[in-house]
């Protein structure tokens, strides 16, 4: 792994008494799609927010494109921000602005491009995501899927080299989920950005990622290719991977009239 | 896009607001004197008690000016009161200036009673024929202690 | 006991410092910010145009009741001719800046605190940050600039409509001669009074809108509540502190200026 685009070592974070991350490592090669898996509440989102600089980690080091990214270095941060986009779980669209203004915003704040060109580039991004005809509506007037596409348009309009996706498929039905993953992979190929995803949709993640990692108990339990993930006999990986099979067995047993002890690891 | 409409409404608001502020400051704030030019004369009083800079100057009940600076004349310890009067009002030289009160507890003002002289007060001239502020407190105390008659009989 | 008191004092001092930093950073960030003008226009619309009805109604009734009460009291002394003086000085010196500011806190300030709180809650402020936008320049500066412009204007509206209210109750409902009322109005108010009134209004505007913005912006820092409860708690706190600040600042400014 000679060309690490993002190299994360020993990220730790606690909120008061609540220790969320103990020491998380992640290696992201340039141009790849890396998916961080994990159960709900294991701190996946917090980890991603540490990467984006929204949450300041208590310890650990992040190297971006070979250079250390420290919270104190404002210039380095600003450069990172202009090369990186973040897709929020809740989309975080600004509801006081129109669709076009939302997409134009990152260009207005990170570049010195004249307004006319910003408008053109924003319209271009909307066209790519098939939202062009809704440019003067407000985000609240769009459907959930369109809002997700709008958020993606806003993320790619700056032509970022790194896009962080926080649970892009949360709360979507299986068809939409597929569509979102398709979209991510398609634009990842088209624009050539590096993508880090956080999700708990195992089958989709295994299909669409170059590498998967598993976060549990505040540490990264596993990182490798989907094939390695499927072959791994690490207990945490196995329980995550085989939960669908377990459910099938349990339901079958219940139907047969057997009594099952309540699971207490939820 | 409704941006131009928004800007229009805001523009109207700001314009109306500026007119309101200007009206308040220039018309109500400065009385009816702004715009019309003024000239100053001085009046010498033995007591200017209660009069303040900005008090009104009236002739026959009509406001024609304001009181300017009030200073002490060190030569004879009298009060020199500057009166800023509207230029259109020309007063005879034998005008009498008196300090009066509107109502029992009202503001003090300077009342001018024009005489019959044909010459007019020039800017900077001094009115010497004056009546000082009525000292209500001493008047009341004299009344209360029954000294009013005595004073008259003297 | 002493320790609790000290802890509490320290917290207040720290928050005051944080608030000062927040406000000065927002004002400084306004310099050279892109499309600031458009956002200021929008803020003027929110604080100005939308609040005109409330200012007009409250101003009119304040004038009406001042005229009514003033007339009855002054009439006892046979000085009903001073009604114009009473109404105009009361309005210009105290009531207009204070009441207009309180009404604006109630309508525009609370809306601002709630809006920022929700934006914080739905990660919109975080999103702005990840997009490299200066959140202070984007969200706060236009509001503060608008407030310094809008509050004096609204106060002037309040004064004028209040004087009209005094006229209505004094001369239309009651028996005072209109000429007596208006000439008293025109001769009672000095330029100094108007200047003081405008300065007060501008300071109230800056303070209250900054307080409301600060509370909404930091809605996520509340430890007692989270989510929608945090937004509502922040909004309540914003309105209460702003209102108290208006009255306290009024006393301080008056004692300095008079």
B1 band by pLDDT with thresholds 50, 70 and 90? very low
Kindly report which listed range (A251-260, C96-105, C152-161) carries the lowest average pLDDT score: A251-260
Looking at the structure, do residues B1 and B69 belong to the same domain, yes or no? Answer: no
Contacts of C39 in chain A (CB under 8 A): none
- Residue range A44-52: mean pLDDT, rounded: 87
Is residue A244 included in any domain, yes or no? yes
Do the Cβ atoms of B63 and C198 come within 8 Å?
no
pLDDT at A204: 83
Looking at the structure, do residues B63 and B134 belong to the same domain, yes or no? Answer: yes
Report the residue from A49, A82, A94 with minimal CB separation from C124.
Answer: A94
Looking at the structure, do residues A172 and A138 belong to the same domain, yes or no? Answer: no
Q: A57 with A12: CB under 8 angstroms?
A: yes
User: How far is Cα A86 from Cα A155, in angstroms, rounded to an integer?
Assistant: 6
Q: Which residue has the higher pLDDT, C44 or A14?
A: C44
Which of A77, A139, A49 lies closest to C127, judged by CA? A49
Instruction: State the CB neighbour count (10 A cutoff) for residue C28.
Output: 11
Contacts of C138 in chain A (CB under 8 A): 109
User: How far is Cα A67 from Cα A5, in angstroms, rounded to an integer?
Assistant: 10
Provide the residue range defining the domain that includes B74: 38-142
Q: Which chains touch C (3 or more CB pairs under 8 A)?
A: A, B
Please count the structural domains in chain C.
1
A176 band by pLDDT with thresholds 50, 70 and 90? confident
Q: A48 with A164: CB under 8 angstroms?
A: yes
Do the Cβ atoms of C157 and B63 come within 8 Å?
no
Q: Is A186 helix (H, G, I), strand (E, B) or coil?
A: helix
Is residue A80 included in any domain, yes or no? no
Element (H or E) spanning A85, and its range?
strand A84-87
pLDDT in tens, C216-232: 999 988 877 788 899 99
User: How far is Cα B126 from Cα B122, in angstroms, rounded to an integer?
Assistant: 9
Is residue B92 included in any domain, yes or no? yes
Is residue A86 included in any domain, yes or no? no
Alpha-carbon distance C203 to nearest alpha carbon in chain A (angstroms): 28
Is residue A118 included in any domain, yes or no? yes
Residue of C nearest to A79 (CA): C132
Do the Cβ atoms of A109 and C138 come within 8 Å?
yes
Res. A39: pLDDT tops 50: yes
pLDDT in tens, B97-138: 888 887 666 678 888 888 888 888 888 888 888 887 777 777
Last residue of a domain, which of A133, A160, A187? Answer: A160
Q: In what order do the strands lie in the sheet with B108-113?
A: B126-127, B38-45, B78-86, B62-73, B56-59, B108-113, B96-101, B130-131
Res. B59: pLDDT tops 70: yes
Contacts of C122 in chain A (CB under 8 A): 90, 92
Kindly report which listed range (B23-27, B74-78, B147-151) carries the lowest average pLDDT score: B147-151
Alpha-carbon distance B28 to nearest alpha carbon in chain C (angstroms): 5
Question: What is the number of helices (H) and of strands (E) in chain A?
Answer: 10, 10
Nearest-10 crossing angle of helices C36-47, C141-167: 30
Domain CATH code at residue A216: 3.40.50.300
Report the residue from B10, B28, B32 with minimal CB separation from C41.
Answer: B10
A80 band by pLDDT with thresholds 50, 70 and 90? confident
Looking at the structure, do residues A171 and A221 belong to the same domain, yes or no? Answer: yes
Nearest-10 crossing angle of helices C83-90, C52-76: 140
Do the Cβ atoms of B24 and C92 come within 8 Å?
yes
Element (H or E) spanning B85, and its range?
strand B78-86
Contacts of C49 in chain B (CB under 8 A): 9-10, 13
Last residue of a domain, which of A107, A130, A160? Answer: A160
- C52, C56, C84, C153: which to substitute to probe chain B, counting the most B Cβ within 10 Å? C153
Question: What is the number of helices (H) and of strands (E) in chain B?
Answer: 3, 8
Looking at the structure, do residues A166 and A49 belong to the same domain, yes or no? Answer: yes
User: How far is Cα B15 from Cα B6, in angstroms, rounded to an integer?
Assistant: 14
Is residue B116 included in any domain, yes or no? yes
Which of B85, B71, B66 lies closest to B123, judged by CA? B85
A5 band by pLDDT with thresholds 50, 70 and 90? confident
Looking at the structure, do residues B42 and B26 belong to the same domain, yes or no? Answer: no
pLDDT at A90: 85
Q: Does B136 touch chain C (CB under 8 A)?
A: no
- ipTM of this model? 0.84
Looking at the structure, do residues A142 and A216 belong to the same domain, yes or no? Answer: no
Q: A87 with A188: CB under 8 angstroms?
A: no
Looking at the structure, do residues A40 and A146 belong to the same domain, yes or no? Answer: no
Looking at the structure, do residues B61 and B8 belong to the same domain, yes or no? Answer: no
pLDDT in tens, B17-32: 999 998 888 777 665 4
Q: Position of tokens 């000016």? A: B65
Instruction: State the CB neighbour count (10 A cutoff) for residue A234.
Output: 14
Provide the residue range defining the domain that includes A137: 93-160
**Burial group, residue B116, by CB count within 10 angstroms (0-12, 13-18, 19+):** exposed
- In angstroms, the Cα distances linking C252 to A140, C200, C223 are 45, 10, 33
Report the residue from C34, C124, C126 with minimal CB separation from A108.
Answer: C34
Looking at the structure, do residues B51 and B20 belong to the same domain, yes or no? Answer: no
Looking at the structure, do residues B44 and B13 belong to the same domain, yes or no? Answer: no
Looking at the structure, do residues B23 and B77 belong to the same domain, yes or no? Answer: no
Last residue of a domain, which of A143, A160, A177? Answer: A160
Share of chain A above pLDDT 90, in %: 6
Provide the residue range defining the domain that includes C97: 2-257
The chain-wide mean pLDDT, for chain A, equals 84
Contacts of A98 (CB under 8 A, 6+ apart): A135, A136, A137, A138, B1
User: How far is Cα A87 from Cα A163, in angstroms, rounded to an integer?
Assistant: 7
Q: C26 with C144: CB under 8 angstroms?
A: yes
Alpha-carbon distance B129 to nearest alpha carbon in chain C (angstroms): 26
Please count the structural domains in chain A.
2
- Which residues, in sequence order, are bridge partners of residue A223? A213
Report the residue from A54, A81, A82 with minimal CB separation from C126.
Answer: A54
- C34, C37, C38, C130: which to substitute to probe chain A, counting the most A Cβ within 10 Å? C130
Contacts of A165 (CB under 8 A, 6+ apart): A87, A184, A195, A196, A197, A198, A199
Looking at the structure, do residues B18 and B47 belong to the same domain, yes or no? Answer: no
Do the Cβ atoms of C189 and B25 come within 8 Å?
no
**What distance lies between CA C87 and its chain's CA centroid?**
21
Looking at the structure, do residues A122 and A211 belong to the same domain, yes or no? Answer: no
Looking at the structure, do residues B111 and B70 belong to the same domain, yes or no? Answer: yes
Looking at the structure, do residues A166 and A235 belong to the same domain, yes or no? Answer: yes
User: How far is Cα C52 from Cα C157, in angstroms, rounded to an integer?
Assistant: 8
Looking at the structure, do residues B109 and B131 belong to the same domain, yes or no? Answer: yes
User: How far is Cα A20 from Cα A10, in angstroms, rounded to an integer?
Assistant: 13
- C53, C190, C195: which to substitute to probe chain B, counting the most B Cβ within 10 Å? C190
Please count the structural domains in chain B.
2
């Amino acid at each position: 792994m000679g060309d690490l685009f993002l190299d994360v070592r020993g990220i730790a974070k606690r909120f008061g008494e609540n220790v969320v991350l103990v020491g998380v490592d992640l290696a992201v090669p340039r141009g790849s799609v890396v998916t961080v898996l994990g159960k709900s509440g294991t701190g996946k989102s917090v980890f991603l927010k540490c990467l984006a600089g929204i949450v300041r980690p208590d310890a650990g080091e992040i190297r971006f494109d070979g250079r250390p990214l420290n919270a104190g270095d404002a210039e380095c941060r600003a450069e990172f921000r202009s090369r990186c986009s973040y897709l929020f779980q809740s989309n975080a669209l600004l509801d006081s602005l129109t669709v076009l203004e939302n997409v134009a915003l990152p260009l207005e704040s990170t570049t010195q491009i004249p307004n006319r060109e910003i408008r053109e580039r924003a319209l271009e991004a909307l066209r790519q995501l098939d939202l062009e005809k809704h440019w003067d509506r407000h985000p609240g007037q769009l459907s959930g899927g369109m809002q997700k596409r709008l958020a993606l348009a806003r993320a790619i309009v700056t032509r970022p080299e790194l896009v962080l996706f926080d649970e892009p498929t949360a709360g979507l039905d299986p068809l939409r989920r597929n569509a979102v993953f398709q979209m991510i992979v398609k634009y990842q190929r088209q624009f050539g950005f590096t993508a880090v995803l956080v999700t708990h949709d195992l089958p989709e993640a295994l299909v669409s990622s170059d590498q998967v990692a598993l976060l549990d108990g505040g540490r990264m339990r596993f990182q490798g290719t989907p094939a390695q993930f499927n072959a791994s006999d690490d207990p945490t990986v196995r329980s995550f991977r085989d939960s669908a099979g377990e459910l099938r067995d349990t339901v079958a047993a219940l139907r047969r009239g057997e009594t099952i002890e309540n699971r207490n690891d939820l | 896009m409704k941006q131009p409409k928004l800007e229009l409404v805001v523009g109207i608001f700001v314009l109306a607001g500026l007119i309101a502020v200007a009206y308040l400051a220039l018309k109500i704030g400065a009385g009816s004197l702004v715009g019309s030019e003024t000239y100053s004369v001085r009046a010498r009083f033995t007591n200017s008690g209660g009069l303040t800079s900005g008090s009104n100057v009236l002739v026959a009940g009509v406001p024609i000016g304001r009181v300017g600076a009030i200073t002490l004349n060190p030569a004879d310890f009298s009060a020199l009161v500057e009166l800023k009067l509207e230029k259109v009002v020309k007063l005879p030289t034998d005008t009498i200036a008196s300090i009066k009160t509107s109502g029992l507890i009202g503001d003090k003002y300077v009342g001018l009673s024009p005489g019959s002289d044909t010459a007019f007060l020039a800017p900077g001239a001094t009115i010497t024929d004056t009546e000082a502020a009525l000292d209500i407190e001493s008047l009341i105390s004299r009344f209360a202690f029954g000294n009013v008659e005595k004073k008259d009989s003297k | 006991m002493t320790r609790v008191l000290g802890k509490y004092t320290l917290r207040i001092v720290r928050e005051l410092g944080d608030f000062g930093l927040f406000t000065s950073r927002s004002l400084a960030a306004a310099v050279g910010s892109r499309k600031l003008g458009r956002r200021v226009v929008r803020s003027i619309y929110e604080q100005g145009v939308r609040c005109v009805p409330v200012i007009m109604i409250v101003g009119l009734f304040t004038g009406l009741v001042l005229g009514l009460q003033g007339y009855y009291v002054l009439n006892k002394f046979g000085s009903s001719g001073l009604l114009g003086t009473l109404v105009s000085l009361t309005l210009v010196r105290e009531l207009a800046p204070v009441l207009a500011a309180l009404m604006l806190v109630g309508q525009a300030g609370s809306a601002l605190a709630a809006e920022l709180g929700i934006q914080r809650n739905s990660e919109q402020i975080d999103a702005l940050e990840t997009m490299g936008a200066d959140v202070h320049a984007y969200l706060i500066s236009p509001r503060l600039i608008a407030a310094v412009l809008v509050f004096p204007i609204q106060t002037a509206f309040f004064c004028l409509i209040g004087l009209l209210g005094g006229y209505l109750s004094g001369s239309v409902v009651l028996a005072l001669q209109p000429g007596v009322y208006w000439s008293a109005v025109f001769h009672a108010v000095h330029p100094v009074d108007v200047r003081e009134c405008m300065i007060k209004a501008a300071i109230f505007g800056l303070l209250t809108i900054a307080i409301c913005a600060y509370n909404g912006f930091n809605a996520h820092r509340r430890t007692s509540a989270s989510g929608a409860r945090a937004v509502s708690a922040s909004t309540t706190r914003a309105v209460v502190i702003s209102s108290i600040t208006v009255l306290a600042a009024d006393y301080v400014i008056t004692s300095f200026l008079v």
